[in-house]
């Protein structure tokens, strides 16, 4: 039987619109995995924000060898 994982992550997004449109979305991203803080990041555009969230989630779900 597999031991349950104790991995965890925290992600904080601060999102705002520039130029009043959806393509003007900007985000400041603060994240950590297992208590280890990563440098803050920024993203421009919805696709870039979603990509950053997916990348962080992938790190949380990744199994350590």
Question: Does the pLDDT value for residue 4 go beyond 70?
Answer: no
pLDDT at residue 53, as a whole number: 97
Tokens of 37: 């803080």
pTM: predicted TM-score of the whole model, two decimal places: 0.79
Q: Give the three-state DSSP class for 29.
A: strand
Question: Does the pLDDT value for residue 1 go beyond 70?
Answer: no
- Calpha distance 22→18 (Å, rounded): 8
Higher per-residue confidence, 23 vs 43: 43
Segment 53-60 shows an average pLDDT of 95
Question: Does the pLDDT value for residue 11 go beyond 90?
Answer: yes
Where helices occur in the chain by DSSP H, the ranges are: 46-61
Question: Does the pLDDT value for residue 57 go beyond 60?
Answer: yes
């Amino acid at each position: 039987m597999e031991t349950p994982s104790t991995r965890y992550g925290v992600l904080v997004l601060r999102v705002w619109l520039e130029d009043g449109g959806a393509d003007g979305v900007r985000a400041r991203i603060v994240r950590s995995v297992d208590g280890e803080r990563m440098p803050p990041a920024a993203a421009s555009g919805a696709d870039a924000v979603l990509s950053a969230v997916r990348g962080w989630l992938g790190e949380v779900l990744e199994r350590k060898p």
